[in-house]
Structure 1
Amino acid sequence: MKIIIVSDTHMPKKAKKLPSVLMRELNGCDLIIHAGDWQTIDVYHEFKTFAPVEGVYGNTDSEEICGLFRESLLLEIKGYKIGVVHGHGQGKTTEKRSIAAFGNERVDCIIFGHSHIPVNKDESGLTLFNPGSPTDKRRQPQYSFGIMEIEDKMHLRHIFYDSKV
């Protein structure tokens, strides 16, 4: 199973279309997970043309997106519990807010966004994954998104690239 993970697309403000490297990976994927800050519903509709889409809203999303998605989401995929949250809020770091969003719920992985900083690390058996942003790298050296592959085990990796064209 191949899952594309994105966050912080901020379209059309930061890009008029999805980057070509992301478009290539979307072909043939089984699921798309968006961790918020879509900006407009058009992004959701474009992703839906490739695969089913799951996601949450972020702090810059339109009322339409906030009405369609929740603040956090818990998915069970091939035996893995995956939490999804944008990670915005007051106090703490984005990572700590993301972990706190799932309280005592046992999850294998938390996907979050907000900071635009790519993260892929293990914290006491919990995988924390931020795909970065495919269109707004901020102070990062490259744009990025993530790919999760689940066969016998869950494997997460980033795709990094220099141009959002």
Structure 2
Amino acid sequence: MRLLLMSDTHLPKRAKALPEPLLEALPEADVVVHAGDWVDTDTLDLLERRSRRLLGVYGNNDGPGLRARLPEIAYADLGGLRFGVIHETGPAPGREARCAARFPDLDVLVFGHSHIPWDTTAPGGLRLLNPGSPTDRRRQPHCTYLTAAVEAGRLTDVVLHRLPPR
């Protein structure tokens, strides 16, 4: 099972559209995960049309239209792994322990908000992934997204993709 993870698209505020390399990668994914801060419903509509399966949540910048269509926290069993998706996990210090305590039944937690790519494993084995942002790098050197695979109940091939400058 192939996954494509993104967050913090902030369209059309931070960019006019999703980057072409990201759009080209969509058909390769069995599941597309968006960890919130879409800002517009057009992006949600686009990903619903172009994804085989979409797993998404709303973020702190998402208004009533998105909040009516998306949960604050999403859960799914993907290839035998228990995934959770949330927008915000709080400050970086203590994140692993805090998330492991809050989500003891998950194998993988995908989050956003900071626009900072993150890949760590908490005590007890919870994998924490933040794909960064494909449209708003803020203080990061690149806009980014993640791909990964689930094989035989294991998360494999986690790759951070750097997007070309706009």
Structures share fold, TM-score greater than 0.5: yes
Gaps of 5+ in 1: none
Q: Cα offset for 1:94?
A: 8.2
Q: Which whole-Å CA distance do the structure 1 matches of 2:162 and 2:72 have between them?
A: 27
CA displacement, residues 16-47 of structure 1 (integer Å, 9 cap, x when unaligned): 11101101111232111100000011001111
Q: Tell me how large the CA RMSD over aligned residues is.
A: 2.1
| Structure 1 stretch displaced more, 42-51 or 128-137 | 42-51
**Do the aligned residues in 2 keep the contact of 1:86 with 1:98 (CA within 8 Å)?**
no
Residue 85 of structure 1 corresponds to: 86
Q: Deviations over 1:39-70 (max 9, x none)?
A: 01100111122212111110000211011111
The percentage of aligned residue pairs carrying the same residue is 35
- Structure 2 runs not aligned, ≥5 long: none
TM-aligned CA distance change 1:54 to 1:94, over 3 Å = farther
- Aligned match of 1:12: 12
Alpha-carbon distance change, 154 to 146 in structure 1, aligned in 2, over 3 angstroms: same
Change (3 A) 1:93 1:159: same
TM-score relative to the length of structure 1: 0.89
Q: Aligned residue for 1:38?
A: 38
Which aligned pairs between 1:138-153 and structure 2 lie closer than 5 A?
Answer: 138-152=138-152, 153=154
Change (3 A) 1:24 1:55: same
User: Any idea what SS the aligned residue of 2:67 has?
Assistant: helix
Paired residues, number:
162
Aligned to 2:68: 67
Kept after mapping to 2: 8 A contact 1:72/1:101: no
- Inter-partner Cα distance in structure 2 for 1:7 and 1:95: 21
